Amino acid sequence: MLNTLKLNSLQDRRVYIRLVILYKIAGGMVPAVDPDEYLTSKPQRRTVKVKTYSDFTSSNILDRHLTNNSRAFKIPSAQTNQF
């Protein structure tokens, strides 16, 4: 039935909708949810380092490339009681 209607699986549709909602909340497009209270920014610390060898010279664009993602958010930890 999914093939005849050309629909993605329910799991894929749920992931897509979650990403759309996160994008809208982060962009301030949802007036009911304040992004400053709901989302916590993650510090920008990730760097990409390429291995270097003494007998090889690389002209790769990733050399000394700093990756900063200003749209990264902390994922809150969940706590549940296990029985």
Q: Which domain holds residue 18?
A: 2-54+61-66
Give me the residues paired with residue 53 across strands. 56
pLDDT tier for residue 58 given thresholds of 50, 70 and 90: low
Q: In total, how many domains does the chain have?
A: 1
Which two three-digit tokens encode residue 52? 């270097």
pLDDT digits (tens, 9 = 90+) for 63-77: 555 556 677 787 777
Does residue 42 lie in a domain region? yes
Does residue 28 lie in a domain region? yes
pLDDT tier for residue 3 given thresholds of 50, 70 and 90: confident
pLDDT digits (tens, 9 = 90+) for 10-46: 999 999 999 999 999 988 899 988 888 888 877 666 5
CA distance readout (Å), 5 to 13, 16, 36, 42, 51: 14, 18, 40, 40, 49
Residue ranges in 1-83 assigned as alpha helix (H): 2-5, 10-26, 35-38
